[in-house]
Structure 1
Amino acid sequence: MSDTLSVPDSQPGSALVSSVPRGEEFLRLYLSEMPVLLPIQHLTEVLSVPIGQIVPIPHTPPWVMGVYNWRGEILWMVDLGHLCGLIPWYQQSTYGSTHSVVVLQVQRHKARSAFRQSSSAKNQILGLVVNQVGDIERCNLDMIQAPPSSSIMPELASLVRGYWWQAEGDMLAILDGTAILEIMPK
């Protein structure tokens, strides 16, 4: 897709009219080898976090890795692949000494989980540990399809906003940041 601007030639000096298709930007993330997309509007920052700086917390779900001190805030860290029903990071042969983390931030009124709230803002934050962070993708919203109910893992089903079929034939799951926060323990 190319972003173009067209200038109406009927009236000199008239305003530019955008012919850019309606779309949204997503960050491509890899969970094991599975690529997924997460809306850029729900993301604050991408971090590289040493394993030893995540403090485990007992009596939490297995996909909650612990907490991390992020700019003076307690940032709960979640293994996004494990949450989605994939192999946990610690069972993968490719894990290293640092984690790639995207900081998910959603407005409080959209996500009602009391699990993690930023004390300085009306937002909820969560660190999502992923295998790899990829490129930014621009997707026409009209191309997003409802998730197929039969071919989706049950753990992933509640977190998926829809699917995007790329021109190359690849299907990418689009995750819903609000749904990820909603699944967190209360």
Structure 2
Amino acid sequence: MVSEFLSGNTTLLNQTANNTPTHQTSVGEQFLRFHLGGETTALLPVHQMTEVLNIPVNQIVPIPHLPGWVMGVYNWRGEILWIVDLGHLVGLTPLHQQEISHSTYTTIVIHSQQKHTSKKRLGGQITGSKMLGLVVEKVEDMEWCNPDSIESPPLSAVTPELVPFLRGYWMKSNDEMLVVLEGEAIIAGMPKPAV
């Protein structure tokens, strides 16, 4: 399984994230392909990712008074990692409403390219997060995609909740449409403290 491969080989993922992949096409960007639920398959740029891991459900600590898609926090390498139900965030059925029972969550850890001055929690809200854990249904594979072939989706094909995090979509040669997400936008969309 790809998630187990990536979890056990974070060095390979980190090399790719640092733009030193072991194999590169002449034109293209590498993405991680994952399933969000329903018929939605999505891509995230590998350079925005740190790791893919399986988190035991009972190790996520819920935090009250946050949006429903914020599942809680997890102790990741001695740091607090905020965990988000990505499907719920983009308007799909929340994990807690699905009939599938989970003992672990497949989680993609993404990081921000921008510098943040704080990683503190103020007033019950997430502030200055540089890392974020995105829970997905399953990780599938790596894909190479020419960034010029990423197009704007028809508005009827996306949920309003998805739009702020959407880079576009990529239509593969087999007519499969893959949603391309932007990690920076997902991190920027996290709750901020009231001013």
- TM-score range, shorter-chain basis? 0.7 to 0.9
Amino acid at match of 2:190: M
Among 93, 96, 107, the alignment partner of 2:99 is 93
- Counterpart contact for 2:127–2:191, Cα < 8 Å: no
Residues in 2 aligned to 1:44 and 1:20: alpha-carbon distance in whole angstroms = 21
1:153 to 153, 159, 162: 159
2:35 is matched with which residue?
30
Q: Which has the higher helix share?
A: 2
Aligned pairs (5 A) from 1:1-186: 20-33=25-38, 34-109=40-115, 115=126, 117=128, 124-186=130-192
Preserved CA contact (<8 Å) 1:117 1:125: no
Q: Which runs of 5+ in 1 are unaligned?
A: 1-18, 119-123
CA distance in 2, matches of 1:74, 1:129: 15
Give SS of 1:133's match. strand
| Alignment gaps of 5+ in structure 2 | 1-23, 121-125
For residue 95 of structure 1, what is the amino acid of its counterpart? S
Amino acid at match of 1:151: A
* Equivalent position SS for 1:153: coil
**Contact 1:79 / 1:129 at 8 angstroms: preserved in 2?**
yes
Deviation at 1:106, TM superposition (A): 1.3
With the length of structure 1 as denominator, give the TM-score of the two structures.
0.81
Of the structure 1 ranges 161-170 and 19-28, higher mean CA displacement relative to structure 2 is found in 19-28
Aligned-pair Cα RMSD in Å: 2.1
How many angstroms does 1:108 deviate by?
2.6
Distance 1:53 1:83 in 2: 21
Q: Indicate conservation of the 8 Å contact 2:35/2:137, yes or no.
A: yes
The normalised TM-score by structure 2 is 0.78
Deviation at 1:95, TM superposition (A): 3.2
Partner of 1:9: none
Q: 1:178 is paired with a residue of what secondary structure?
A: helix
Measured after TM superposition, the shift of residue 27 of structure 1 is 0.3
Off by >4 Å, runs of 4+ in structure 1: none
Q: Structure 2 counterpart of 1:131, which letter?
A: E
| 159-168 vs 20-29, which moves further | 20-29
